[in-house]
Structure 1
Amino acid sequence: MYRILLAFLLISFYGNAQTNNYKISFENAVHHEARVNISFPEVKTSSLDIRMSRTSPGRYALHEFVKNVYGVKATNSKGEEIKIERNDPYSWKVSGHDGTVNIEYTLFANRGDGTYSQIDETHAHLNIPATFMYAEEFEHRPIEVNFEVREDLNWKVATQLKEEGSNTYSAPNLYYFMDSPTEISDFKMKEFELDGQMIQFTLHHEGTEAEFSEYFEQVKKIVEQEEAVFGELPEFDYGKYTFLACYMPNVSGDGMEHRNSTILTDTDAISEGGMRGNIGTVAHEFFHAWNVERIRPSELEPFDFAGANMTGSLWFAEGFTSYYTGLMLCRAGARTPEEYIEGLNGTFNYVWNSPALEYFNPIEMSYQATFVDAATSVDPTNRENTFVSYYSYGSILGLALDLSLRQENLNLDDFMKLMWTKYGKTEVSYTIREIEQTLAEYAGMEFANQFFKKHIYDSEMPDYDKLFGSVGIKLERSGKPDFGASLSEVENGLKIDRNPFQTGAAYKTGLDNRDVITKINGEKIESKDQFDEMVANSSDNLKVTFTRFGKEKQTEVELGEDPTWIISIDENASKEALKKREKWLQPE
């Protein structure tokens, strides 16, 4: 409520604040176009700068939304065209107005996800920064937007914006507007009340009512379990939280959190794997209602719509949320304890077998978000050896912190409650040092200092053998031979399809991305299964024939040991360990 209250106070202070008015229509939805009209009244300056955002709340990289805007013109209050000139690639300067500036343009939009917009005859899926221009000098003005829905397509509106009637909605200021994605379609909706607030789930899909009902029951259980972690729901603006789910074949898979809503998109229908596959995104994004939307890194306040947004706290904001994603699915009964534990293998091995830990700690990995968070570039990188996702890194560190605290008869849930009390309910943004200080307040100075020194300010691996053992889980190595490269089948052999890990045998031998292995020990390679069998049964070095830049070469590879860890339930665990595991994974 902080931003809304601030807006109301500003309105009271300055008098009756003028409202900027937006209108969007979709007559040419079949060709992915919308027509947008904006009116800025009471313009006191001789010229007005208007722009398209370059980024979007919840994203950290740049996204040049302006590239899909055309047919821009400006008029005054009488409808007369006025001067408009380009400031830079992202903005325009409008002058010669009579106190009112009206803007009109066409938007092309055809990507349905958590960042972009998509318009077609199934829906108008609108992320606000990708859709509407704005005037930065009016960032504190309230906004009204009218969605001219396609009644012939039975469209209706779902959004966290405040409903004013007749498909008109309002926001108290620019930030709230930009943070309010909107799904306009023939969706279905279910809702339930929890602690005096309404949780809505709008679903745009082609499935059955019975499938939606079954899925919604899982959603309810997850919401309840996540509330139990923090002890209460956030105070949602206007008393409701809205899931905007679009599981359609024309969208792109994604999830994106916002203050009182979240976008969920996927091509998998609920009946075709989506029931199991998409529920994890539900768990992840709703947890963000606390962790990142209200328990918020200081570097993201205020959010910059004109430049990239960087914070060193994503290992906590995104990573700890990722840890709770799997845990909440387990506690809500969407995954069995066995499935949850076995599911740790992939993320665990991805993080702790990466050479990237030699270069960056979790804070520095978080800084990379501006280059990897749906960012695009054309030049190759060496991220296989220099980057580990802060989602995964933070998730595995969250696991380590939780199990470490449980050895002290504490737990991560209560630490998150303390972070919520200090920084979430108050909506006072935090620094990394303040996370450490809060952990010290909860678990003691020595515990907090050691954890941060070893695992946050450095990249040391926690003692997982001990931590897993405390809850009846085994951690073992596979002991198999390892070639150390990712391979895919091509017409004349096996191509190395990514940069080899610099710790692996292939890298040390000098093999590289895009090399094509044609023979092993003189035998022609025709399939990956054949290659894997030869590696598994090898007791000597492999003589490898390969092509690079069209020329045949040979080398000898000394196989390494497979670094893969295997995480599994210990059938011989003690009763004490079993009791601790049950307390860790059981529902609240």
Structure 2
Amino acid sequence: MKPLLLLATFLFSISSNAQTNSYTISFENAVHHEAEITATFPKVTSEIFSVRMSRTSPGRYALHEFAKNIYAVKATDSQGKSLTIKRPNPYQWDITGHDGTVNISYTLFADRADGTYSQIDETHAHLNIPATFIYAPEFSERKITVDFNPREDLNWKIATQLPLVANNTYSAKNLQYFMDSPTELSNFGLREFEVVEADGKKKNIRFVLHHNGTEAELDTYFEKIKKTVLAEEAVFGELADFDYGTYTFLACYIPNASGDGMEHRNSTILTSTRSLADGGMENNIGTVSHEFFHSWNVERIRPESLEPFNFEEANMSGELWFAEGFTSYYTNLILCRTALITNQEYVEGLTGTFNYVWNSPARQFFNPIEMSYQAPFVDAATSVDPVNRENTFISYYSYGSILGLALDLSLREKGLNLDDYMKLVWTTYGKNEIPYTIENLNESLNTYAGKAFGDAFFNAYIYKSGMPDYTALLATVGVGLKQDTQIPDFGATVAINTKMQGEIKRNTTIGSPAYLGGLDKGDFITQVNGQALPSTTSFEDYIKTFEIGTELKIDFLRNAVPQKTIVKIASSQTYSIELMEKQGKKPSKKILKNRAAWLTLQ
């Protein structure tokens, strides 16, 4: 039986290899941001064999049209014979005349290092897979291997969540996993630590850093990484089961990067122009906190609307207020719990997000679900026509973050907390990898906090766009919310130019004094009450010299035509958020205990 078993294994190996799509990528012309890529597709049975470049990237929801950056596309069969290529659309190549094998070669131009695109130069090859590799939709379930050819003269190494086959060859079980596996080739530094779970499972956390700093800086920063990882583990009670036992942070903190963060199933990309020595030690850690939280919330606690991820069309989800927004709520809360920022820094840091959401007129148009639907238009999407986002859109990151705050504090009034709700959603859906719907989130809150509470929260703040009583909620943890009513407000973003004209730089906010006065983006204010604008102060400070309720006579230019209007100064709509002690109040012992339970690692 032994020879037969060996024969069967050998035949299976041949069959398996025949059903594997393979790629190679090399970087001889990295100085000009080019890579040379080949792809081999065996056992092709379609008369017309179609390959594409992705139009989207996991974690992003807009279209990006990666096909624009590949050229010199050629196709041959197993004998090296050139094949006919036709282009039915901008992102597809139809190939005919093959003998069952199709070999494709092309050149990739790549010069943006972030969470979506690729960058190739003599510092690194930063590869997001959808932006790099052509693919065959009909073979989406085939195994894939990729042979990376690093620049040995530049001391490049390879870091990726893809499992290693041998040498520089890595594999993916299917197209979805391949597309979700960013890869960094550079002379990076590496640190890692092992987490042993309560059940004895060992999980490895690996931090890869491509930067121009020192080993000592990396050591110091890695300690922050460890604290962040362990604090987030405490929320869910365990780390996720990483597919190959390891989670990899791929960080590029270099001058030629673009600031970003992008989650993936067993890894994340972190990019910043800030070096650890130049503010990155403090300012880059927030992205670490946000993206690692995604290893639970969005990668495994996964909206049904994003399954499977579509590489040919924009991906729309109504759950981003939870997937991105609740993750954003935890981003700085985790840093506070680990003492990487102080309680005061955390609380005061809520101010900007709160004012943005609370004062936006956009809530009259869309609820959090509908704001989430806007992702394909705003998530790194570009357009040339002007839009009215100032009045019609609130980022689902911010909207969900503020709602997460409200839900957490509301639950704490009942002796509950958001951590345990997240844990319930994790054990019900994420751990079992059952995609969820908004209705499932509602049902889970009903299970955790009672049907009356859960339905009331969703009906008022998710299915509709109401706002909770933040003054009362924040008071329960000794935080004061105060409106700055004594500050005059004109209601427009105005910059004084060299001609001493005040250019309105953004759409005026619905209901603001400038909006009610008929002013809009692109108008140039020339005089106020018959006087020229000041040359020694900003327009914002100039407005503060007037009393609230004052009617200003405004002379302005619109399309170079002189016009006049009246703007009545109103009270500022902005709020400040501070610890009560800073406002001269003394919280009770009970309130301080509530605050500690909220802001301290339990």
> TM-score, with normalisation over the residues of structure 1?
0.97
Match of residue 6 from structure 1: none
Alpha-carbon distance between aligned partners in 2 of 1:542 and 1:376, rounded to the nearest angstrom: 37
Q: How does 1:190-339 map to 2 (within 5 A)?
A: 190-195=191-196, 196-339=202-345
Offset at 1:481?
1.6
Match of residue 5 from structure 2: none
Relative to structure 1, is the Cα distance of residues 456 and 528 closer, same or farther in structure 2, using a 3 angstrom cutoff?
A: farther
Select 1:388's aligned residue among 377, 381, 394.
Answer: 394
Tell whether 2:587 aligns with 1:573. Answer: yes
Match of 2:464, SS state, is coil
Alpha-carbon distance between aligned partners in 2 of 1:223 and 1:531, rounded to the nearest angstrom: 45
Alpha-carbon distance between aligned partners in 2 of 1:45 and 1:396, rounded to the nearest angstrom: 52
Alpha-carbon distance between aligned partners in 1 of 2:149 and 2:253, rounded to the nearest angstrom: 23
Alpha-carbon distance between aligned partners in 2 of 1:305 and 1:497, rounded to the nearest angstrom: 36
Match of residue 357 from structure 2: 351
Alpha-carbon distance between aligned partners in 2 of 1:57 and 1:530, rounded to the nearest angstrom: 43
Please tell me the residue identity of whatever aligns with 1:481.
Answer: P
The superposition leaves residues 468-496 of structure 1 with CA deviations (integer Å, 9 ceiling, x where unpaired) of: 01000111110122100112231222211
Select 1:537's aligned residue among 540, 545, 558.
Answer: 545
Match of residue 7 from structure 1: none
Alpha-carbon distance between aligned partners in 1 of 2:536 and 2:246, rounded to the nearest angstrom: 52
Alpha-carbon distance between aligned partners in 2 of 1:247 and 1:143, rounded to the nearest angstrom: 30
Alpha-carbon distance between aligned partners in 2 of 1:40 and 1:292, rounded to the nearest angstrom: 32
The superposition leaves residues 329-369 of structure 1 with CA deviations (integer Å, 9 ceiling, x where unpaired) of: 10111110000000000000000100000000000000000
Alpha-carbon distance between aligned partners in 2 of 1:316 and 1:47, rounded to the nearest angstrom: 42
Alpha-carbon distance between aligned partners in 2 of 1:144 and 1:271, rounded to the nearest angstrom: 38
Match of 1:581, SS state, is helix
Relative to structure 1, is the Cα distance of residues 437 and 527 closer, same or farther in structure 2, using a 3 angstrom cutoff?
A: farther
Alpha-carbon distance between aligned partners in 2 of 1:179 and 1:530, rounded to the nearest angstrom: 47
Kept after mapping to 2: 8 A contact 1:20/1:38: yes
Tell whether 2:488 aligns with 1:481. Answer: yes
Kept after mapping to 1: 8 A contact 2:126/2:183: yes
The superposition leaves residues 517-536 of structure 1 with CA deviations (integer Å, 9 ceiling, x where unpaired) of: 22222221144835334422
Q: Structure 1: any 5+ residue segments left out of the alignment?
A: 1-10
Q: How does 1:547-566 map to 2 (within 5 A)?
A: 547-566=557-576
Please tell me the residue identity of whatever aligns with 1:405.
Answer: L
Relative to structure 1, is the Cα distance of residues 533 and 26 closer, same or farther in structure 2, using a 3 angstrom cutoff?
A: closer
Select 2:436's aligned residue among 430, 447, 450.
Answer: 430
Kept after mapping to 2: 8 A contact 1:494/1:527: no
Relative to structure 1, is the Cα distance of residues 512 and 528 closer, same or farther in structure 2, using a 3 angstrom cutoff?
A: farther
Kept after mapping to 2: 8 A contact 1:488/1:528: no
* Farther off after superposition, 41-50 or 309-318: 41-50
Alpha-carbon distance between aligned partners in 2 of 1:158 and 1:271, rounded to the nearest angstrom: 24
Match of residue 88 from structure 1: 89
* Farther off after superposition, 288-297 or 574-583: 574-583
Offset at 1:312?
0.2
Kept after mapping to 2: 8 A contact 1:110/1:120: yes
Match of 1:237, SS state, is coil
Please tell me the residue identity of whatever aligns with 1:504.
Answer: S
The superposition leaves residues 274-303 of structure 1 with CA deviations (integer Å, 9 ceiling, x where unpaired) of: 111110000000000000000000010011
Match of residue 525 from structure 1: 533
Match of residue 170 from structure 1: 171
Alpha-carbon distance between aligned partners in 2 of 1:347 and 1:531, rounded to the nearest angstrom: 24
Kept after mapping to 1: 8 A contact 2:348/2:578: yes
Match of 1:292, SS state, is coil
Match of 1:61, SS state, is coil
Please tell me the residue identity of whatever aligns with 2:560.
Answer: G
Kept after mapping to 2: 8 A contact 1:489/1:528: no
Select 1:467's aligned residue among 473, 481, 490.
Answer: 473
Alpha-carbon distance between aligned partners in 2 of 1:343 and 1:268, rounded to the nearest angstrom: 20
The superposition leaves residues 387-428 of structure 1 with CA deviations (integer Å, 9 ceiling, x where unpaired) of: 000000000000000000000000000000000001111101
Match of residue 34 from structure 2: 33
Match of residue 56 from structure 1: 57
Relative to structure 1, is the Cα distance of residues 35 and 367 closer, same or farther in structure 2, using a 3 angstrom cutoff?
A: same
Kept after mapping to 1: 8 A contact 2:155/2:187: yes
Tell whether 2:122 aligns with 1:121. Answer: yes
Match of 2:244, SS state, is helix
Match of residue 601 from structure 2: 587
Alpha-carbon distance between aligned partners in 2 of 1:533 and 1:435, rounded to the nearest angstrom: 46
Match of residue 161 from structure 2: 160
Please tell me the residue identity of whatever aligns with 1:324.
Answer: Y
Match of residue 491 from structure 1: 498
Offset at 1:573?
1.6
May I ask how many residue pairs the two structures share in their alignment?
577
The superposition leaves residues 178-230 of structure 1 with CA deviations (integer Å, 9 ceiling, x where unpaired) of: 00000100100000001211100000000111111111110100000000000
Relative to structure 1, is the Cα distance of residues 533 and 93 closer, same or farther in structure 2, using a 3 angstrom cutoff?
A: closer
Match of residue 348 from structure 2: 342
Match of residue 517 from structure 2: 509
Please tell me the residue identity of whatever aligns with 2:575.
Answer: W
- Give the share of equivalent positions with the same residue, in percent: 61
Alpha-carbon distance between aligned partners in 2 of 1:256 and 1:73, rounded to the nearest angstrom: 32
Alpha-carbon distance between aligned partners in 2 of 1:309 and 1:484, rounded to the nearest angstrom: 35
Offset at 1:109?
0.5
> TM-score, with normalisation over the residues of structure 2?
0.94
Alpha-carbon distance between aligned partners in 1 of 2:29 and 2:221, rounded to the nearest angstrom: 34
Please tell me the residue identity of whatever aligns with 1:279.
Answer: I
Alpha-carbon distance between aligned partners in 2 of 1:178 and 1:573, rounded to the nearest angstrom: 51
Q: Structure 2: any 5+ residue segments left out of the alignment?
A: 1-10, 197-201
Match of 1:324, SS state, is helix
Match of 2:537, SS state, is helix
Alpha-carbon distance between aligned partners in 1 of 2:80 and 2:441, rounded to the nearest angstrom: 54
Alpha-carbon distance between aligned partners in 1 of 2:480 and 2:537, rounded to the nearest angstrom: 29
Kept after mapping to 2: 8 A contact 1:211/1:271: yes
Offset at 1:551?
2.3
Alpha-carbon distance between aligned partners in 1 of 2:537 and 2:601, rounded to the nearest angstrom: 42
Please tell me the residue identity of whatever aligns with 2:495.
Answer: S
Kept after mapping to 2: 8 A contact 1:291/1:317: yes
Alpha-carbon distance between aligned partners in 1 of 2:318 and 2:559, rounded to the nearest angstrom: 40
Kept after mapping to 2: 8 A contact 1:501/1:507: yes
Match of residue 458 from structure 1: 464
Match of 1:262, SS state, is strand
Relative to structure 1, is the Cα distance of residues 415 and 527 closer, same or farther in structure 2, using a 3 angstrom cutoff?
A: farther
Alpha-carbon distance between aligned partners in 2 of 1:527 and 1:423, rounded to the nearest angstrom: 60
Relative to structure 1, is the Cα distance of residues 530 and 113 closer, same or farther in structure 2, using a 3 angstrom cutoff?
A: closer
Root-mean-square deviation (CA), in Å?
Answer: 1.4
The superposition leaves residues 370-392 of structure 1 with CA deviations (integer Å, 9 ceiling, x where unpaired) of: 10000011100000000000000
Please tell me the residue identity of whatever aligns with 1:119.
Answer: I
Offset at 1:552?
2.4
